[in-house]
Structure formats: structure tokens, C-alpha cells
Amino acid sequence: MDITGLTGLLKDALPLMLKGALWTLLLAVASVFFGAIIGTLVAITRLAKVPVLSQLAALYVSCMRGTPLLVQLFVIYFGLPSIGIQFDPISAGILGLSLNVGAYLSETIRGSINGITHGQTNAALSLGLTQAQTLRYVIGPQALRLAVPSLSNSLISLIKDTSLVSVIAVGELMLATKEVIATTFQPFPLYLAAAAIYWAMSASFETLQKKLETRLNRSYLR
């Protein structure tokens, strides 16, 4: 294919691929948001050593980390309808991604909280703060600073993992690319274009991560 043909191909394909990229971003951001909520609750439950709940939380983490994300998506989208629980493709994709990333984020959050010296907790409690206030005002902000690199890496990984939800007919970037290839029969340049879009999205979040780290470190040093 000559340059003119390649330019025309990309010009025709980009609108559909960029629309898919937008869905990729929405899926990733929504999944990280819900995954962060799940991860925080699971981490606190395990740290608090709540009977039964902490064991269930540990089992959840082990299950999510020990099985492929693709299998989890299949169970949610194709398996659950057999017992009367059904989700549309987007809901199933967000649920699967959120549950998966939530398990990894819970370990990140738990490790960050454990990275704060216990003396700070004792000092806060001695000043009359409750456990919840200590976690919110003393431990939480410092743990966030430690967790930012891992949290950002999870988001970047999730952007790439969203390509798996194409198997349940979610119209994200990879599915959009496949649809264009099915009509143009030009896989090589289109897959390269998709890779470039994934790279651009990941690089953008890497830049935001560095800025956030710098800001948090500056605030901490004050």
C-alpha cells in the first residue's frame, strides 16, 4: 500500500477507532473508580481483621489474582445468566474489570497503610482521635502518597486490559479496530494505529502520575 492509500485508510478508520478509544477511557476510569472503592473496603477489612469478613476478603483477593481476567469476564457475561443474573455488555465489562483491579488495589492500599509507622497511629489516638479519624486525617494522606505509583500503574494496565472486553461485544478500541479490519482487510497498519492510540493514552496518564507524585511529595516535605 502506498502513502496515499495508507493516509486514506487511516483517515476513514480514525473516527471509529477514536470513538472506541473514548469507550476504552470510560471503561478504564469507571473501573478504577469502583475498583478503588472495592480495594479500600477490602484492605480495611483485612487490616481490621474482622472475623469471617477478613477471611472472605482474602479469598476474594486470591480468587481474582489467581484466575485470568478473560475467564472472569466469561463467567460474568456468559455464566451468570444460567442462574438468572444477566448484565448488558458494558455493565458486565465494568463489573469484571472493577472486581479484578479491586483485588490488586486492595493489596496496594494495604501495603501503603502498613508502610506508615505504627507510632503515628498511637500518637493520633493519644491525642483523642478515633480510629476512623486517624485513618482519614493521619494515615490516609501519607498512604496515598506511597500508593500513587502503584495506583497509576494499575490504571495504565487497565487501559490495556480493556481490550479483553471486546470478546463480550463492548465497542472499545480493539473491537472498533477489528470492525474496520473486517471491511478493509488491512490488519497491519490498523493494529499499529490501535497500538499508537493505546500508547498515547498510557503516556498521558504517566505524565499525570508524575505531576501528582511531585505535588504530593512537595506537600509532604512542607
State in words which class domain 3-221 has: mainly alpha
Domain boundaries, the chain: 3-221
Question: What is the reported pLDDT for 76?
Answer: 96
Calpha distance 41→39 (Å, rounded): 6
Question: What is the reported pLDDT for 198?
Answer: 95
Q: Which three-class secondary structure state does DSSP give residue 51?
A: coil
Question: What is the reported pLDDT for 130?
Answer: 85
Q: List the grid coordinates of 141.
A: 494522606
Question: What is the reported pLDDT for 203?
Answer: 92
Calpha distance 177→24 (Å, rounded): 12
Q: Which one, of 108, 142, 118, lies nearest residue 38 by Cα? A: 108
- Cα dihedral 200, 88, 180, 7 in deg (nearest 10): -30
The tens digit of pLDDT for each residue in 18-41 reads 999 999 999 999 999 999 999 999
Please identify every stretch of the chain with a pLDDT value under 50, giving residue numbers as ranges.
Answer: none
Calpha distance 191→212 (Å, rounded): 32
Q: Which three-class secondary structure state does DSSP give residue 77?
A: helix
Q: List the grid coordinates of 54.
A: 477478613
**DSSP state string for 100-149:** HHHHHHHHHHHHHHHTS-HHHHHHHHHTT--HHHHIIIIIHHHHHHHHHH
